[in-house]
Amino acid sequence: MAAKVTEKRIQRKARKPYGCDVCGRTILENCDYMACSRLYGQGGSILKLKRHIHCDALVRRYAEQHNVDAAEVTVAEVVEWLDETCKTECLPGFSPQCEQDRFSCGQIIWNLLRHKPGYGAVVKSINETGGNNGE
Ligand SMILES: [Zn+2]
Ligand SMILES: [Zn+2]
């Protein structure tokens, strides 16, 4: 039987760049991110994770929609789910962000998260991460 996972999440501001454990891209210095710590079983091992605000929001949205514990969601299954959503919701070739990573797809975010509290923070997080197209 699998150990019970307890997850604690807290929003922080990055004092230096980190790697996001969900999308693999950089969490830039001075940007808000979500720090998660997971405890596996009583007195078990602790796993510390750092993730973008928007990546965290998508993982939680996945968990909610599939009625599973957010701490037990794998990145692979979220990516698969986003792939499906992207295929049905995005116009092919219309959203260049989709080619970078699924977690920054504006259409997906709009469809899945616009009614959620914290949507503004999610959009801000994507814009901060979005990188090189601002000039
Ligand atoms: Zn991320
Ligand atoms: Zn898309």
* Mean pLDDT of all residues belonging to the chain: 86
Higher pLDDT residue, 34 or 4?
Answer: 34
131 pLDDT exceeds 60? no
> Is position 24 within any domain?
yes
Which sign, positive or negative, has the C-alpha torsion 106, 107, 112, 113? positive
In the chain, the number of structural domains is: 1
> Is position 89 within any domain?
yes
DSSP 8-state code for residue 115:
T
49-58 residue pLDDT tens: 999 999 999 9
Task: Report how far ligand 2's centroid is from the alpha carbon of 20 (Å).
Answer: 19
> Is position 124 within any domain?
yes
Task: Report how far ligand 1's centroid is from the alpha carbon of 104 (Å).
Answer: 8
Domain range for 57: 5-129
Task: Report how far ligand 2's centroid is from the alpha carbon of 94 (Å).
Answer: 9
pTM (two decimals): 0.86
Give the pLDDT of residue 40.
86
79 pLDDT exceeds 70? yes
Find out whether 52 and 125 touch, Cβ atoms under 8 Å.
yes
> Is position 135 within any domain?
no
Angle at 110 between CA 104 and CA 111, to 5 degrees: 110
